[in-house]
Structure 1
Amino acid sequence: MVISDKLAQIPDSYFGKTMGRKVEHGSKTLINMAVGIPDGETPQGIIDCLSESIRIPENQKYGAFHGKDSFKQAIVDFYKRQYQVELDKEDEVCILYGTKNGLVNLPQCIVNPGEYVLLPDPGYTDYLAGVLLADAKPHALVLKAPYYLPQWNKVDKEVLSKTRLVYLTYPNNPTGSVATQSVFDEAVAQFKNTKTKIVHDFAYSAFGFDNKNPSILQSEGAKDLAIEVFSLSKGYNMSGFRVGFAVGNKEMIQALKKFQTHTHAGMFGALQDAATYALNHYDSFLETQNETFKRRRDEFEKKLKEAQIPFEPMSGGIFLWLQTPKGYDGAAFVTYLLQEQSILVAPGIPFGEQGRNYVRISLALNDAELVEAAKRIQSLKHLYQ
């Protein structure tokens, strides 16, 4: 097999390995609760805009490497409107070809070999690959139940002094926990006047069930050391479009942009036009998305409580973090659910050591499937007694 030593040392992506694979399950109809792809359709206006934009001659040619002015202006306007954050569209905005690219590539842009990067545990699985590609040292930022928030005084001081990048993600994937503005204030204060930078993965920004999710850039001084990565995939049902952006600290943004000039030749103009239309016209759709998933959360959690099945409180995002029964780790419980109940979920362990005795359940399914899934899981209450 031909593969570089560096690539060989990086674990396979869990979702890259499992998404789309054929699974063997029990006798019931399969319910796939493993993948966080929103189940709704992309709003028709966005589809119409994309269709029309494909026919524009200038969109059929190479475009500006760093994106259309109209798209960057829409990003600036959106952040001003939603978060009261002022941005410079040239210095503080970087268009991303899917936010995963930005999140995984960032360490290669700003971290040197041997330097530490703090990764949330539990947290998104593919952050690690970016750290290893940069020959940096990953270190767990342990997040404890039930709120899964950073405790900076519990991180080794020597590690902190050598840390050059910290990943945060709220609403948290996989736990459904959220951060208040004070959490971001503390993070910014912790690393003020140091060499450490912060990247906040804001993929599930639209989903805050008790309060609107804050942006880290709303914290005083945040742009001195932090960027935020925003995705159109979840809130707008645009996961297949692969469009997102990073905003914030000028130095980090410019490093990302330089990296992309060597790996990409500009995003397809029609995609940019569709994303621009989404940002400019669908604020109310984001509110509808949030209401939908809040209702799903309320109904699903109610069923689990009735059966006295333990889970962590879900305050945002689209995933519920379910504890496994005694005697099962996440992997074993995934197998059990698949064989006995024909339910496919994700094991907690790929998200970090803190997820060993959990599974992640996606609520991105239609109502009928969620009702049936809740009934099947309720029937397992004897395992928890």
Structure 2
Amino acid sequence: MIISDRLAQIPESYFGKTMGREIEHGPLPLINMAVGIPDGETPKGILDHFANALYQPENQKYVAFHGKVEFKQAIVNFYQRQYGVELDSEEEVCILYGTKNGLVGLPTCIVNPGENVLLPDPGYTDYLAGVQLADGIPKTLPLAPPYYLPDWTQISNDTLINTKLVYLTYPNNPTGSVASQQVFDDAIKQFKGTKTKIVHDFAYSAFGFDAKNPSILQTEGAKDLAVEIFSLSKGYNMSGFRVGFAVGNKEIIRALKKYQSHTHAGMFGALQDAATYALNNYDDFLEQQNIKFRNRRDYIQAQLDEVNIPYEPMAGGIFLWLQTPPNYDGEQFVSYLLQEQSILVAPGIPFGQNGKHYVRMSLALDDEQLKEAIARLKSLQSLYHQQ
């Protein structure tokens, strides 16, 4: 097999090897709760704008590597409107061809071989690959239930001194926990004046059920050391478009742009036009999305409470972090649910060692499927309460 030593050391992407595979399940109709792809359609206005943009001659040719002026200005306006954060469209904005590309590519841009990178546990699975591709040293940032927030006193000074980058992600994938502005204030204070930088993965920004999710850039001094990565995939039902952006620290943005100028040749102009239109015109849609998923959260938690099935409080995002029954780890429970209840969920272990006795359930299902899935789960209450 021809593969480089560097690539060989990286484990297979969990979702890369599972999405699209043929699933063998029990006798009931399959309910897929494993993948966080929003179940709604992209708003018609965005699709119409995208369709019209396809016919524009300027979009049928190469475009500027670092994005259209109109798209970058829409990002600036959006952050001012939503978070009161001022951005420089040229120096503090980097367009991304899907946020995963930015999150995985960032260590290559700013981390030197042998430097530490703190990764949340539990946290998104593919951060690790980016660290390994950069020959960085992954270190665990342990997050404990029920709120899964960083405790910087738990990290040794030796680790902190050699840490170049810290990943944060709120609302957290997979736990559904959220951060207050104080959490970000503490993080910026912790690393201010050091070589450590912070990247905040803000993919589920639209989904804050008990309060609006803050941006890390709202913290005073955050742009001195932090960038935030924003996705249009979830809030706008645009996952197939693969459009996102990074905003914040000028030096990190400059490094990301240089990296992308060698790995990409400019985002398709019609995609940029569609994203521009979404950012400029669909603030109300983001609120509708939040209400829809908050109602789903309320329903699911109430149903599980009825039968005393344990889960971690879900304050944002689109996933429920469900504890496994006694005598099951996450992978065993995934197999049980698939064969006995025809429910597909994601095991907790790909998200970190702290996920060993959890599974992640997506709420991105229509109401009928969601009710059926919860009814099947409730029928398993005896597994949780064996004497």
- Shorter-chain TM-score range: over 0.9
Partner of 2:93: 93
Unaligned runs of 5+ in 1: none
Residue identity opposite 2:213 in structure 1:
N
How many residue pairs match? The answer is 385
Task: Provide the secondary structure at the position in 2 that maps to 1:227.
Answer: strand
Output one character per residue of 1:331-366: Cα deviation in whole Å (capped at 9) or x when no partner.
000000000000000000000000000000000000
The alignment status of 1:175 with 2:175, answered yes or no, reads yes
The alignment status of 1:209 with 2:209, answered yes or no, reads yes
Q: Which consecutive segments of 4 or more residues in structure 1 shift more than 6 A?
A: none
Partner of 1:195: 195
Q: How does 1:124-273 map to 2 (within 5 A)?
A: 124-273=124-273
Output one character per residue of 1:177-205: Cα deviation in whole Å (capped at 9) or x when no partner.
00000000000000000000000000000
**Two-structure CA RMSD over aligned residues (Å):** 0.3
Residue identity opposite 2:165 in structure 1:
L
Partner of 1:301: 301
Q: How does 1:268-287 map to 2 (within 5 A)?
A: 268-287=268-287
Task: Provide the secondary structure at the position in 2 that maps to 1:372.
Answer: helix
Task: Provide the secondary structure at the position in 2 that maps to 1:53.
Answer: helix
- In 1, the alpha carbon distance for the partners of 2:368 and 2:95 equals 37
Residue identity opposite 1:264 in structure 2:
H
- In 2, the alpha carbon distance for the partners of 1:48 and 1:260 equals 29
- In 2, the alpha carbon distance for the partners of 1:26 and 1:110 equals 47
Task: Provide the secondary structure at the position in 1 that maps to 2:301.
Answer: helix
TM-score (norm: length of structure 1): 1.00
Partner of 1:119: 119
Residue identity opposite 1:188 in structure 2:
I
- In 2, the alpha carbon distance for the partners of 1:254 and 1:332 equals 45
- In 1, the alpha carbon distance for the partners of 2:106 and 2:340 equals 42
Task: Provide the secondary structure at the position in 2 that maps to 1:370.
Answer: helix
Partner of 1:366: 366
- In 2, the alpha carbon distance for the partners of 1:341 and 1:304 equals 16
- In 2, the alpha carbon distance for the partners of 1:20 and 1:376 equals 24
Unaligned runs of 5+ in 2: none
Partner of 1:58: 58
Displacement of 1:266:
0.1
- In 1, the alpha carbon distance for the partners of 2:118 and 2:242 equals 26
Partner of 1:311: 311
Output one character per residue of 1:72-95: Cα deviation in whole Å (capped at 9) or x when no partner.
000000000000000000000000
- In 2, the alpha carbon distance for the partners of 1:177 and 1:156 equals 24
Residue identity opposite 1:82 in structure 2:
Q
Partner of 2:288: 288
Displacement of 1:156:
1.1
Partner of 1:67: 67
Displacement of 1:157:
1.0
